[in-house]
Each structure stands twice: as C-alpha cells, then as structure tokens.
C-alpha cells in the first residue's frame, strides 16, 4: 500500500454541496434525509463512517444518523457532555482529528456501535449562533491524518446542517422529539435592571445584519466578485469617515474605527472568507460561517485582549453583511409587543424603531448610565442589560417576559410564570388607574402641606408626557443628549431650535435647562476624551465647560436666543467651589449682553442656579448661595460621594442609603442653609422619585421635587397619605437613637406612628 492510498480522495466541496441541496429539496422524512446525508458525506469524502450527533436538553450527544456504524445504535447511543472524542469536539467547539482514535486518552468505546475496526477520526462542531447543536464526524479503517481540505469540507457541511436542524424540519419526526432541535424549554436570564417596567411580548433578535437566505453558491466566480466588492465598499466607508474630520483624533470612536480599518485589511480574516466561498458557499453564508466560528471561540476565550479582538472581527463581519445586502432596503417590521434582544443598541438607533410596536429591550451588554438606557427611560421602555447568552438561547418569535424591575428575562415562560406576571401586570395597571385619577390634583399631604412635583427630561419626545404625568413643569432638562446622539457638534441653529421647541412644548410651565454634563461616561465623538481611573470624579460637566469655554458659551448663546421674551433658568452642574459658579454665571451674563448688542430679543428674565452635588459645597454652601438665584440638589451624586460608595456597584450598594441618620443630618443642613439665604431648592434625580424618600424629603422641609415622569403618580399618592409633621417628629426622635442602624426598616414598620397611612406604605412596597 502506497502512502498516497492512505489519504482519502475527497472529490471537493462543490459536488458535495450540490448533492446536499438536491437532497434537502426532497420530501423524505427527517430520519431518511439525515441517513442519506451521512451516506453522501461518506461517499464524497471517501470515509468509511460518517455520523451526526445532536444535543439533547441534558447536554448529552445522541447518535442521530450514521453511515458505517450499526443502525441499531441510532437514537440509542448517547455520550455525556465532554465524554469521548465527540464530547471533546463539543467541549472545545473546534475541529479535532486524530490518526489512531482508540489510542487517544479521551477515546470512549461503545460496543453497540460496532466502531472497533475504525482508526482515524475527525469531528467538527455543528454551531448556530455560537451555540452547539451537535457534532459531525468521519472515520476510516486506515490509520491516517486528516487533511485540511477534509476538515474544511466537514465544517461547511456542519454549517448547513445547523440551519437544517434549527429550521424545525426535524421536530415533526418522533425519533427527534427529545432532541434540542429548537429551544423550547423555559429559560430564565438574570440581568441588570436598566429601565423599569414589565412586558409580556415576542422576541425579535436584533443583530445588525440580515441572515443569509441562500447558502449554496450557484457560481463561485460571481460570489467571489460580490465578496470583494463588498469588502471594498466596507474599506472605503471606514476610510471616508476617518478622513472626513468628523471623528477627532484621540477619541474612543476614532480608536474603534482605526481598529476596524486594521481588521478590514486583515489577510487571515479575508482568506478565511474567500476559502469559504471557494468551498461552495455564497458570500453571505461565508461571512456567517467565519463569524460563527469566531463567536464560538469568543465564548470560550479567557484572555481579555483576545476577546476584544474577536468582538471587533465579529462586528466587522456584521458591517460586511450589510454591504452585501445593500440592495435590500427593507425596514424591519416589528410585531406587536416586540421585545428587542440585542448585544447592544445605540441611542439614535433606538429612536428609529416603531415606538407603537416596541415594548421592551434586553441587551447582552449595557449599563444604567449607557446612552441607550437613558433614552429607554425617557421613552418609558422597560430595559434589562447583562443578559448573557440571550442571543444564542432565544429565537425570533419566542414568547418572552421582560421584568425591568428585577432585571429578569424569561424566555418561553411556563404557564405558572406567565400567570404570576399576568397578576403583576394587572396589579400595576390598577395602580396606574389610581395614579391617573390623581393627575390633575395638587400634591398635598394629609396634614395639608403643598409640594410641587416636576418632571425630568432630556429629549423633545419626553415633553409629550408633561401633561399626562401631572407635572408642574420641567425641573431638570438634561441638554447633553442632543450632543451624544450626534456625530458632529450641533450647530447654533440646531441647538436654538431644540431649546425653542422645549419652551413651546412646556407652554406656561417653567423649564430648568442644565448645561452640558459631558465627560465621565458621557462621551461624544467630537469632545476631548481621556481614560480616567475614576471618571465620576474626573474631568466632566462644568469642569470641562470652563476649560473649554467656547463650547459652553456656544450653548448659552443658543439658550439665550431660544428664551427670547421668556423666563430663562440655567443650571450649572458639578460645582465644587464658588469661583467655578462665578465664572459660569459671568459667561451667561456675557451672552445675554451679546444678544442685546446684536439685536436679538433678550429673555424676559434670567436666573442662574447650581447643582449642589459635591460635599465641598454641601458643607460650606454660603458663598455659592449668595450668588445663586436657585439651587438643585443632585442627591444621587451627592450621596455616593458622601458615602464613598458607587451606587452602581452591588458590592457596596448596602453602604448607600439616603434614609440614614448621617444623610438626614446633611440634607437638613442643606435645606436650612437655603432657607437662610432665601433661595428655593429643588431635589432632582432618582432619590426624589422614590415614594418613601420623597416623604422623608418633605418632612425635612423640601417643597419641590423633580423626577422621571412615571414616578410622579406614585409619589403623589404616597404624599397624600403622609402626615409630614408627624413624620418629622418621628425622624427627630429616631436619629438621636444611638442604636438606630437601620432607620429605613424601622420607618417602614412604624406606619401610622410615623405619619404614614396604609396607602402610603402600600405604595412604598409596590415600587
């Protein structure tokens, strides 16, 4: 026997793919088609054995079809997860071959299969979306190495097989009823709540590409040409953006695009794509296959830099698929109650979806401070982040439940889980009806104290909720969102138009405009950026604005022009010393004078305030208060600085409590300082929007609270059942108790003894 006779005479993948395509067009039952498929693969690859193992819900691999092994072993032989050479392929999610399988330490002999005569072994994973569907193997009697061509051919077939399995064609066959062909069992993903709310809906997987419809190429030359043309367009689009000047040097966006440009010229990646086309796939299918392999490796990689590189390659593949589908200008039509399942989503992209159909969003990435999360809150959309594996474990059309209160995503929920959520949703609907009944009523406590509840906003679209919420104005309009969703610095006219539209939407109700709070986690493509060890206390907000006065004066000029003939209230964030506020106020005065000199109608009145959110000002506020017309208490940042505890870090979350003796003492001293100077103070942020905290703030003497629109109803109901005088007396006594280490729990238990009605306590517990 010559050495050449030990190598199989592989006929080539094109012939094999053509035969598979003809086979799948036949109407045989599922088992017959799989059996015939193994016959074709064995024949085309000159193998003595070809077998298909599919994954069961338990994780075991079941022999589901074979050519060469005993027929009675089909649907009988099962390998535990990780068992044998088949399990080794599954565990690694990569091809594996060995010349003499029985001599390998992981070899697991199963006598019922009759595989003792066979020596060589090659196996490739059957992957779909990075999820293991099964393993495809080939064996020969000869002891011989597997060729790259053989492995390449089996990988191509495995990709097609994954689509066949996932299509559901096998489900109708009784023999496959116990296999995890299409995910059907209930699954629960614990993530992180990014935007509150509950929704029962339908999953819509959002990946930034269209999945390939044609898998097998009709003409290799045409497909290679399509691939090369798309790669060329991809490279030009990245080059044009980098050369346009729209993405400044040193910014994160620039770094990402530079990485894309490097990967777009990566020979290894491009060669993989071209080889897949030469193996008989369409250009789209080739990109899918290479992308799928990278994702499987990404899921197993431990090295952070390696994972980042693979992530970039996958994202680049998505962009390439969009270039291949450039002639398909068909917008995705969302079903009713669509729950978007995505890796990540941008704020501008989120605004493009049909709001009447989009009911919620689940992300594999995401954080509370991400731009998308902020927009989701503004739109009242439930959002859950950090649901790892959701894209791989959920299919389009799966029923899902998104719990934005506890950060949960339920896929294919059981009847019991669905019943629990139906009850919760009905309970929430009943509460909303109660809140709607309070919409036109003033926020008045049980002992007759009147408070003003205002709304926070950051987008023009949010202003539509002003009337529906019952808010008495906009206590905080965050102006940075217009900048974050734009690729370039918004021009003066664009800023002026937005602020004018905000004034018009508010009508006679007041609006407080906060100047840009950029920096930290809020980065734009055109503002300076740097890596900081603690961005929350770094170069951000007014600090950046004073160091870049042109940016601040540009915005103040737009605000002054938009406020022509109206009352203008401007709020400066992150003031740490009086000189900063004095400099910012001087800029505002200069812009008002500039408007007068150039013939623009000035505002009817101009008032300047500062965000009190740094301990430096909280403990010595008099100098700033003497210069200010009003104050906004940024309680969220102030409390995290006060407790030295990042409120987003679950490991220290229990160290952060605004209802504690020390925090109450600080909040009381701030309110007393404002009273001494006769300056109104508004508490804005999440703290003001929590019913229990709102009642405590009212008891401490705060009379204006600003919050998310959806929080106004619950806070108004809680205040209506609260006796502030009685609560103040209870707090005064409780904070002097040296043994009081859990004031919040004692307050919840005190109920009417602390001036809290059963309705108020019920509202606290429901939020």
So which residues are the catalytic ones? 371, 684
CA separation for the pair 451, 719 (Å, rounded): 9
Q: What are phi and psi of 473, to 5 degrees?
A: 130, 180
> CA of 380: how far to CAs of 186, 356, 430, 435, 465, in Å?
27, 12, 18, 16, 10
Question: Are the beta carbons of 590 and 549 closer than 8 angstroms?
Answer: no
Q: Which residues of 177-201 are buried (b: 16+ CB within 10 A; e: fewer)?
A: eebbbebeeebebebbbbbbbbbbb
489 Cα distance to chain centroid: 25
CA separation for the pair 93, 534 (Å, rounded): 38
CA separation for the pair 749, 742 (Å, rounded): 11
Helix (H) or strand (E) holding 63: strand 61-67
Q: At what angle do helices 661-677 and 635-643 cross, to 10 degrees?
A: 130
> CA of 3: how far to CAs of 66, 94, 149, in Å?
28, 28, 18
> CA of 584: how far to CAs of 144, 491, 512, 553, in Å?
78, 21, 16, 9
- Cα atoms in the 13 Å half-sphere on the side-chain side of 332: 21
Question: Are the beta carbons of 616 and 577 closer than 8 angstroms?
Answer: yes
Question: Are the beta carbons of 78 and 63 closer than 8 angstroms?
Answer: yes
CA separation for the pair 11, 211 (Å, rounded): 29
Annotate 381-395 with DSSP letters as a single string.
--EEE--TTHHHH--
CA separation for the pair 52, 64 (Å, rounded): 6
Non-local (6+) Cβ contacts of 707 within 8 A are: 453, 454, 455, 456, 684, 685, 686, 688, 689, 694, 715
């Amino acid at each position: 026997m010559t050495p050449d006779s030990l190598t199989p005479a592989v006929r080539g993948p094109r012939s094999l793919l053509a035969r598979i395509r003809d086979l799948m067009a036949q109407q045989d039952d599922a088992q017959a088609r799989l059996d015939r498929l193994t016959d074709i693969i064995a024949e085309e690859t000159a193998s003595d054995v070809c077998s298909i193992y599919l994954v069961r819900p338990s994780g075991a691999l079941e022999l589901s079809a074979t050519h060469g092994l005993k027929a009675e072993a089909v649907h009988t032989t099962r390998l535990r997860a990780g068992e044998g050479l088949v399990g080794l392929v599954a565990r690694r999610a990569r091809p594996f071959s060995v010349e003499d399988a029985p001599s390998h330490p992981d070899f697991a002999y199963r006598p019922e299969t009759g595989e003792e005569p066979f020596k060589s072994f090659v196996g490739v994973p059957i992957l779909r979306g990075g999820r293991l569907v099964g393993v495809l193997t080939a064996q020969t009697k000869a002891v011989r190495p597997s060729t790259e061509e053989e492995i390449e051919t089996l990988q191509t077939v495995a990709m097609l097989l994954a689509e066949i399995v996932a299509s559901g064609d096998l489900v109708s066959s009784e023999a496959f009823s116990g296999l995890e062909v299409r995910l059907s069992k209930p699954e629960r993903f614990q993530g992180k709540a990014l935007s509150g709310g509950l929704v029962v809906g339908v999953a819509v997987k959002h990946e930034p590409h269209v999945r390939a419809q044609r898998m097998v190429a009709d003409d290799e030359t045409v497909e290679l040409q399509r691939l090369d043309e798309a790669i060329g367009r991809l490279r030009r689009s990245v080059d044009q953006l980098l050369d346009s000047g729209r993405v400044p040097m040193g910014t994160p966006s620039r770094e990402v695009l530079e990485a894309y440009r490097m990967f777009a010229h990566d020979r290894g990646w491009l060669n993989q794509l071209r080889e897949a086309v030469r193996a008989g796939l369409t250009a789209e299918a080739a990109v899918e296959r290479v992308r799928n392999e990278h994702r499987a490796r990404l899921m197993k990689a431990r090295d952070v830099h390696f994972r980042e590189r693979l992530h970039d390659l996958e994202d680049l593949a998505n962009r390439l698929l969009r270039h291949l589908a450039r002639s398909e200008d068909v917008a995705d039509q969302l079903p009713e109650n669509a729950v978007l399942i995505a890796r990540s989503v941008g704020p501008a992209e989120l605004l493009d979806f049909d709001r009447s159909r989009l009911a919620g969003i689940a992300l594999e990435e995401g954080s509370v401070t991400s731009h998308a999360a902020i927009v989701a809150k503004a739109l009242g959309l439930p959002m859950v982040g950090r649901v790892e594996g959701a894209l791989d474990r959920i299919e389009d059309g799966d029923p899902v439940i998104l719990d934005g209160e506890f950060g949960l995503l339920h896929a294919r929920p059981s009847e019991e889980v669905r019943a629990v959520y139906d009850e919760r949703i009905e309970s929430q609907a009943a509460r909303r009806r109660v809140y709607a009944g309070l919409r036109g009523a003033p926020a008045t406590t049980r002992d007759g104290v009147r408070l003003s509840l205002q709304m926070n906003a950051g987008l023009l679209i949010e202003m539509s909720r002003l009337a529906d919420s019952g808010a008495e104005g906009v206590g905080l309009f965050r102006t940075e969102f217009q900048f974050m969703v734009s690729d370039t610095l918004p021009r003066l006219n664009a800023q002026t138009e937005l602020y004018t539209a905000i004034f018009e939407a508010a009508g006679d109700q007041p609006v407080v405009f906060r100047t840009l709070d950029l920096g930290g986690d809020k980065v734009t493509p055109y503002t300076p950026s740097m890596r900081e060890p603690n961005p929350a206390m770094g170069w951000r907000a007014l600090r950046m604005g004073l160091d870049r006065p042109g940016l601040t004066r540009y915005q103040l000029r737009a605000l002054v022009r938009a406020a022509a003939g109206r009352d203008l209230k401007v709020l400066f964030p992150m003031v740490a010393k009086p000189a900063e506020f004095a400099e910012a106020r001087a800029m505002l005065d200069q812009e008002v004078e500039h408007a007068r000199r150039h013939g623009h109608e000035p505002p009817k009145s101009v008032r300047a305030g500062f965000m009190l959110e740094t301990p430096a000002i909280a403990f010595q506020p008099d100098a700033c208060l003497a210069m200010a017309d009003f104050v906004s208490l940024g309680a969220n940042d102030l409390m995290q600085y006060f407790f030295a505890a990042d409120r987003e870090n679950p490991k220290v979350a229990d160290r952060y409590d605004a209802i504690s003796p020390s925090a109450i003492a600080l909040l009381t001293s701030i309110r007393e300082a404002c009273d001494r100077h006769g300056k109104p103070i508004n508490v804005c942020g999440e703290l003001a929007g929590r019913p229990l905290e709102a009642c405590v703030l009212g008891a401490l003497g705060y009379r204006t609270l600003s919050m998310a629109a959806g929080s106004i109803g619950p806070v108004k109901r809680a205040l209506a059942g609260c006796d502030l005088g009685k609560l103040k007396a209870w707090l005064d006594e409780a904070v002097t108790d040296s043994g009081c280490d859990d004031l919040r729990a004692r307050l919840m238990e005190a109920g009417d003894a602390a001036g809290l009605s059963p309705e108020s306590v019920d509202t606290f517990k429901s939020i």
